[in-house]
Amino acid sequence: MKNDFLKYNLEELIEEKSFIDWVLKGDNNDVWNAFIEENPGFKPLVEEAREIVLLIKDDSEGLDEQSVLGIWRNIEQFDANNKRQIKKLRIRRSISWAASILLVISLGTLGLFQLTEEEAYHFAESELKISNDARLVLSSGEEIALTMNESFIVLDQEKEQLIVNDSIINLKSIEGQKVEMNEVIVPKGKRSELLLADGTKVWLNAGSRLAFPSEFTGKKRDVYLEGEACFKVARNKYKSFIVNAGEMDVKVLGTWFDVSAYASDNKIETVLLEGSVAVSRPTALGIGKKEYLLEPNQRATFHKENNTIEIEEEYNVQKVISWTKGWYDFSSEDVRTIFKRVERYYDVKFIVPKGLVFSETISGKLDLNDSLKDVIEVLEDVAQIKCKVKGKDIFIEEEK
């Protein structure tokens, strides 16, 4: 049990997944009871938080409009009847807060309350299809093949043009369309660079896609990422730049950072090189976002399984973005992690025998412009393995 729990306030404890699992499912019951017994000063907060969790759980199922309005009237009556009872002030506020959340949830399901959260963006294709070429999908639906291994896209807002490698695409014809997002889709083995309308530069890694508007017209600059990208954001103190990366958002005014948010990974990572960013995750109750500030040379990891964010020092940030320069620089990394990287770059699949354990981490550097054959030779040398290539499958044998 973490002693950090003793520093939690009421809201933080209610958002703690392990606490909710204990209250609702009885998970780690003995551990929680022992922890509370060892820290009797923590017990009042636990009881208050437990009451709120149970209140939300018990009363949020199957409510109709009249029930919701009835709860709200009861809350108001509760406040009126207890104004002079100072002793119960904290719990009254807590119950009011919890039931207010309940009211928002219920009214939202009944269609009587407009939630402020924006709907999640859905890419033009539900799945990232395997293709030999990267491609640009305009908001009109038109697709443009990006046939080069490394494509360069420049969005000229003033001239309303997209410059793709040596081609110019006029955007005037798609003005007024309801769908305002363009998408760059980069398959395995390819990379792309973009210059957005605000001057932000984006490097998009293999197996990734990015949705972006032809111009940023609102109060913020939203883009949507699946995969990995490195951003050098043009500073604008009036419009924050937000990378929506699945379950984690990264908000900045102007800075340099890398985001890895592959759908197949069990985590989303952000590494900050310069400036400052705020990363956020959904709260345990599914309402709103909880923010964490990140400083240069720090990594934020969002763990999808338990909805938590971990922040730690990253001592070699240049290693993290080495892929933007055509290198994969790795230091004391797990062999399977390196396999996954190579799979994305070269559109291959490593087949590892069941039971084969790589007990040691490895270090080295791969030139991503090298042929697959050259890369495999390097891996065989540093990881002490043997590889047999059959089509797109690479079968691994431990070197004897």
- For residue 123, is it within any domain? no
Say whether both 154 and 241 belong to one domain.
Answer: yes
- For residue 116, is it within any domain? no
Give the DSSP letter of residue 36.
H
**46 pLDDT above the threshold of 60:** yes
Say whether both 168 and 88 belong to one domain.
Answer: no
Contact between 335 and 383 (Cβ < 8 Å): yes
- For residue 115, is it within any domain? no
Count the neighbouring beta carbons within 10 Å of the beta carbon of residue 189: 17
Q: Which range of residues forms the domain containing residue 32?
A: 3-110
pLDDT band for 270, please (50, 70, 90 cuts): very high
pLDDT band for 250, please (50, 70, 90 cuts): very high
**212 pLDDT above the threshold of 80:** yes
Q: How many distinct structural domains can be found in the chain?
A: 3
pLDDT band for 129, please (50, 70, 90 cuts): low
pLDDT tens digits, residue range 78-96? 444 544 443 344 444 444 4
Say whether both 267 and 148 belong to one domain.
Answer: yes
Say whether both 104 and 203 belong to one domain.
Answer: no
- For residue 292, is it within any domain? yes
Say whether both 254 and 284 belong to one domain.
Answer: yes
Say whether both 296 and 331 belong to one domain.
Answer: no
Average pLDDT of the residues of the chain: 76
Residues 6+ away with beta carbon under 8 Å from 117: 288
- For residue 331, is it within any domain? yes
- For residue 128, is it within any domain? no
DSSP string of 70-117, one letter each residue: HHHHHHHHHHHHTTT-GGGHHHHHHHHHHHHHHHHHHHHHHT-S--SS
The torsion defined by the Cα of 65, 67, 69 and 74, in degrees rounded to 10, comes to 180
Contact between 295 and 263 (Cβ < 8 Å): no
Say whether both 191 and 247 belong to one domain.
Answer: yes
Contact between 366 and 375 (Cβ < 8 Å): yes
Nearest to 338 by CA among 318, 323, 353, 325: 323
**116 pLDDT above the threshold of 50:** no
Predicted pLDDT at 222: 92
Say whether both 289 and 347 belong to one domain.
Answer: no
Contact between 192 and 184 (Cβ < 8 Å): yes
pLDDT tens digits, residue range 232-248? 999 888 889 999 998 88
Last residue of a domain, one of 317, 336, 360: 317
Last residue of a domain, one of 267, 293, 317: 317
Counting residues of the chain whose pLDDT is more than 70, the rounded percentage is: 72
Predicted pLDDT at 312: 92
Predicted pLDDT at 399: 63
- For residue 119, is it within any domain? no
Predicted pLDDT at 273: 93
Say whether both 145 and 83 belong to one domain.
Answer: no
Collapsing DSSP to helix, strand or coil, 45 comes out as helix
The torsion defined by the Cα of 25, 284, 276 and 317, in degrees rounded to 10, comes to 40
For 304, phi then psi, to 5°, come to -65, -35
Say whether both 245 and 338 belong to one domain.
Answer: no
Domain containing 377 — which CATH number?
Answer: 3.55.50.30
Residue-level length of the chain: 400
Give the DSSP letter of residue 173.
G
Say whether both 236 and 161 belong to one domain.
Answer: yes
Residues 6+ away with beta carbon under 8 Å from 82: 88, 89, 92
Residue with tokens 């030999």: 132
Strands (DSSP E) contained in 123-266 are 134-137, 143-146, 150-156, 161-164, 167-170, 181-186, 191-195, 201-204, 208-213, 220-232, 240-245, 248-252, 256-261
- For residue 211, is it within any domain? yes
Last residue of a domain, one of 300, 317, 334: 317
Say whether both 180 and 105 belong to one domain.
Answer: no
pLDDT tens digits, residue range 213-227? 888 888 889 999 999
